[in-house]
Chain A
C-alpha cells in the first residue's frame, strides 16, 4: 500500500503471470504502448500451476492489496494441463478465503494469451480500480510487515 501526493490510496497489486502466455501478453501490451497502472508488480512463474496457495497468502502478508493470477487459456497450457489444476485449486482457495470473511474481490484468476496485450492492460486497469475501491487490505495483512 502506498499513499500518493494527493493522499489517495494506491493499492499494491501482485500479478503472477505464466511464462508462456500472460508474461508474453504483458510484454505485448508494453510494446503496443498500452497503459496499465504502475501498482501492478509482475512475478513470472513457469506455469500458473506453479502458484501454491502459500504464494498468494505470502503476497498478502508482505503488503499486497490484491493478487491476480494469469495463465494460458484452458486447453492452451504449455505443459498440457497445468492451468486446469490451477483452476480447481484457486477456486477452492478463493472460496475458503471468502468463507473466512476475507474480501473475495481481492483475488482473481484471468486467462491471458500471448496475443492478448490489450486484454492484459484492460484487466489490470479494471482490477486495480476494483481493489482501490476496496481500500487497503486489513483482514489478511501481517502487522509486522506494514509500511509506515
Chain B
C-alpha cells in the first residue's frame, strides 16, 4: 500500500500536477505517525509512512494548504473524505487546489491501548486472524486485535469515499454500524449516574485544546474560547462549571457539522470519550429532524441552519422517560 502511494505521488510530482504532497511521517517512535508535507521524491522515499498507526485525518490541514500556490496532493481515508466534503460545503477549502487520492482506511491501532497491556518497546504490529502480533524490543507479544483498535475505529460509519480524483485500492460500502451503543447506554442511566459518569470524565480535562485544534469542523479563525473577555481563555478549567461549559459549547458548535471522524477522542491526552458528546447530537438530529450525515454531500443544508414549521417543541426533552 505504502509503496503504491509513494510511486503515484512521485509520478504526480514529476508531471507537475501537484507541487507538494500531504501525508504522514514517523516521529520518535514507530507508532508516532504525524501529518507532514513532502515536496520532493527523496523526501517521499525516506519519510513517507502509511501503516496501521496512521490514524490522523489530514483534511483540516488543507484549509491552510489550499490557499497556497499550486495544487496539493492529499491522501484521504474514507472518513477523512467526509470531513473534506464538509469543509468544501462551508467554503473553507478550495476543491480545485487539492488533488485527492482515496485510500482504504482499515481499522487503525492505538498505541496507548497496547501499552496499557504492559507491552513496551513497540517496533511494529501485525494482525494475524484476530490476534495482534506485536514486535517489541524484548521479543514478540500478542494481544486480541479488537482490544488494540483506536476508539474511532471500533465502529465504522463508512468505507466509501465521498470525494476523490482517483482511488488506490477498492472503494468499500457505507456501513450501518452500532456507533450509538454507548450513547444509548448512557441515556438509559439515571440522571445521577450520567452526572457521575461525566464528572469523572470531564474532570480529567486539562484544557489543552487538542480536541478543538484537531477537529476538522472547528475552523473559525477566531474561536470563542480565545476571547480574552470570556474568562476561560488559555487556562485550565477552574471548576466543574468551566469543564462542562467548554465541552458543551465545543460539541454544540460542531453540532450538525460533525462528521463523526473521532479525531477529538483520538488526540485527547486524558482519554476523555469526547466523541460521545458529538454522537449524542448526531443521534438527536437523526431522530428528531431526520437522518443526516454531515459531509455526505456538498449541497444539503445543515440541520441547525434549517427548520421545518412542524418541528417538535423543546419540551420533547422533558417528556422523555428516565429521570
Contacts and interface: CB of A to CB of B under 8 A. Distances in A.
Nearest to A99: B280
A57 B64 CA distance: 33
A133 to B, nearest CB: 13
A100 interface: yes
Contact of A102 (B195, B285, B311, B312): B195
B317 A57 contact: no
B281 A96 contact: yes
Interface string B210-243: 0000000000000010000000000000110110
Interface in B282-308: 284-285, 288-289, 303-304, 306-308
Interface string B125-163: 000000000000000000000000000000000000000
Classify chain B: how many residues form its interface, as a range: 35 or more
Q: Determine the main DSSP class of A at the interface with B.
A: helix
B303 A88 contact: yes
A131 B198 CA distance: 23
B244 interface: yes
Nearest to A97: B248
A85 B315 contact: no
A103 B191 contact: yes
Interface string A82-104: 00110111111111111111111
A108 B316 CA distance: 11
B246 to A, nearest CB: 10
A143 B303 CA distance: 35
Contacts, number: 110
B318 interface: yes
A144 to B, nearest CB: 7
A98 B314 contact: no
Interface in A4-18: none
Nearest to A93: B252
B307 A84 contact: yes
Contact of B309 (A75, A101, A144): A75
A101 B192 contact: yes
Contacts of B255: 92
B238 A144 contact: yes
B307 A87 contact: yes
Contacts of A109: 313-315
Interface residues of A, number: 37
A104 B320 CA distance: 10
Interface stretch (A25-33, A36-44, A114-122, A134-142): A134-142
B314 A108 contact: yes
B248 A91 contact: no
A87 B313 contact: yes
B1 interface: no
A105 interface: yes
Contact of A100 (B198, B288, B304, B308): B198
Contacts of A98: 191, 317, 320
B267 to A, nearest CB: 21
The residue among A60, A85, A99 with the most chain B CB atoms within 10 A of its own CB is A99
A100 B288 CA distance: 19
A81 interface: yes
Interface of A: 53-54, 57, 60-61, 74-75, 81, 84-85, 87-105, 108-109, 139-144
26 contacts: A54-B249, A57-B248, A60-B241, A61-B241, A84-B311, A88-B303, A88-B306, A88-B307, A89-B304, A91-B284, A92-B252, A92-B255, A92-B284, A96-B248, A96-B277, A98-B320, A99-B187, A100-B195, A100-B198, A101-B198, A102-B195, A104-B320, A108-B315, A109-B315, A142-B239, A144-B238
- Sorted nearest first, the 7 A-B pairs with minimum C-beta distance are A101-B195, A84-B307, A101-B194, A142-B241, A109-B314, A94-B317, A91-B314
